[in-house]
Structure 1
């Protein structure tokens, strides 16, 4: 058997090698234990992220102010007409702004465009209809009927912007309602991992930005308002006003309760997530239970006549041949 002491230099003994190995092992064990027990302070990183969001929001506000000043300098015809008629004042204009925000249009230009369309489209539709009906009279109507048709076209032009806005709101709500349970599950995971509400919403916003851009937009804006507004309740109430359907209202009320009474956020969100999953399952079962009643009319109209023809048709033909032959 080879003696390891013969392989070492004369100045290095086997006892020294063992002492060095023991020292290195002790040092490594100390570093591993220290790294495992060391609790990293994430507060500076959170403060930096919050400061970044505040700076971004401040830059957006400054840019909007600059754009507004430039817009005032080169005011368009729409702005002049709407301002001349004083349509942007009063409670009705504020309600329209809320509806436009629910549809995803939050700029002041959206309100001006909507009001201008409500003014001009009836004139355009009614005027073109009257010009066509009275000028060419393709249907040979009497003037009173042509006038009524022109008034009906003007009414369509007046109602068209509202119908487009309602359709946009319903489509946006349907997309957010479909993606809300999955986003809430992600928010539960984020809160259980130790993130607070605004950081969790920001994280969920980044994760669902491709699959659910509407919900990501609302959650991102709420996360910024939670870090920027002095009252967190106001930010959550703004979310409830922008997204006005039952599931989001329940979520906002739950978050308000946790903010007010100090309920553990992860526990409340987990309970709410389970309720939303049960609600989604109940809706799927409701659609499945409604399917036989929905299929009854197509079956009676399309399937049963064909079935009667196949079953009774040959007997009817034979009877006709028999009576004709007799």
Structure 2
């Protein structure tokens, strides 16, 4: 028996449309992921926009800027709910910056998603589990599934931003040794700190665009901000890695006491290469323990079957012939 919905739709029609939309979305997602793009021009354009914004903030007097027109309705809803007046706004902005979202509307979109996604997921859960009777769940089960949808919608933006930040930081960590070696070469060639960061950012643009963003932004802030130490501390806050913290401490010490930049960077590069080697040796040492369980489950049983199977079959045939 089918459930009648408005406009003559049935539960079968809704499930068919949902399956079709999911299939089309999967095809578009695979097609989008297979397209090879060059992210460097867009990132250089974003850095140039950041340069103009920093220059405008220093040269021009401070004044109130008009609200952006693209997502002004989201901003209006967030401001009416007073979501941007909490003490955690700065922390949220830092988390978004670590995930690579530094636009003015990133915080607004995140807060808007935190408010609307629980309502949307809850309404969708009520429609699917109670209205359409999906999976034929009892009333208590359908109510629990709807509540789980609300909880999922509430934590989905936070989980998304956290995973994006972790992936981005891991990508930057893998590219740091090469970047440090390039810094040593640039410093030994006589380039200043600003020119060194800018040159390294351009050189690693193809292999690690995320590191290009951070180094390019640090170079811009060093050029425009009155406090150079604040610009370097901003790099350490956006990339919470011990290697970056050591780099920032070294650069601050170089700026403050005038110590040779090339010597300090050479020591850091050697330590980072040694750390990468130790990490590789640690992973290699863990490999036997990791391979023990797959070997017991998937390698030893076929081996026993191949070695003992023929003898067991012969013994079985002997018992059958004797009987």
Taking structure 2 as the reference length, the TM-score comes to 0.79
How many Å separate the matches in 2 of 1:229 and 1:187? 22
1:114–1:161 contact (8 Å) kept in structure 2: yes
1:319 aligns to what?
315
Number of residues of Structure 1 aligned to a counterpart in Structure 2: 272
| 1:145 shift after superposition | 1.9
CA deviations on 1:118-173 (whole Å, 9 max, x unpaired) are 11111111111111111122333332221111001111111111111111111111
1:197 — aligned with what? 193
Superposed, which structure 2 residues align to 1:86-125 within 5 Å?
Answer: 86-125=82-121
Deviations along 1:156-205, one digit per CA (max 9) or x if unpaired, are: 11111111111111111111111111111111111111111111111111
1:1-326 mapped onto 2 (5 Å cutoff)? 57-58=54-55, 69=66, 71=68, 76-326=72-322
Whether the 8 Å contact between 1:54 and 1:227 is mirrored in structure 2 is: no
Change (3 A) 1:56 1:130: closer
Distance in 2, Cα, partners of 1:58 & 1:86: 31
- Consecutive unaligned residues in structure 1, runs of 5 or more: 1-52
Deviation, 1:80, is: 1.8
**Cα distance change on mapping 1:130 and 1:302 into 2, 3 Å:** same
- Residue segments in structure 2 that go unaligned for 5+ positions in a row: 1-49
TM-score normalized by the length of structure 1: 0.78
Give 3-state SS (helix, strand or coil) of 1:273's partner.
Answer: helix
CA distance in 2, matches of 1:271, 1:163: 37
Q: Secondary structure at the match of 2:268?
A: helix
Q: Describe the superposition over 1:15-64 as per-residue Cα deviations: whole angstroms up to 9, x where unpaired.
A: xxxxxxxxxxxxxxxxxxxxxxxxxxxxxxxxxxxxxx9768425999xx
Displacement of 1:107: 1.3
User: Aligned partners of 1:121 and 1:260: how far apart in 2?
Assistant: 48
Residue 33 of structure 1 is matched in structure 2 by none
Helix, strand or coil for the counterpart of 1:288? helix
Aligned-residue CA RMSD in angstroms?
Answer: 2.4
For residue 92 of structure 1, report the CA deviation from its aligned partner. 1.0
- Tell me if the contact between 2:55 and 2:224 (Cα under 8 Å) persists in the aligned partners: no
Query: Partners of 1:130 and 1:229 in 2: how far apart?
Result: 52
Cα separation, partners in 2 of 1:315 and 1:209, compared to 1, 3 Å: same
Is the CA contact (8 Å cut-off) linking 2:71 and 2:105 kept in structure 1? no
Give the equivalent residue in structure 2 for 1:23. Answer: none
Runs of 4+ in 1 over 3 A off after TM superposition: 53-57, 59-62
- Choose between structure 1 and 2 for higher RCO, CA contacts under 8 A separated by at least 6 residues: 2
Q: Do the aligned residues in 1 keep the contact of 2:253 with 2:259 (CA within 8 Å)?
A: yes
Classify 1:230/1:138 alpha carbon distance in 2 versus 1 (closer, same or farther; 3 Å).
closer
Q: Could you tell me how far 1:210 is from its partner in structure 2?
A: 1.6
Could you say what secondary structure the match of 1:194 adopts?
coil
The structure having more radius of gyration, on CA atoms, is 1
| 1:173 to 1:75, Cα distance in 2 relative to 1, 3 A | closer
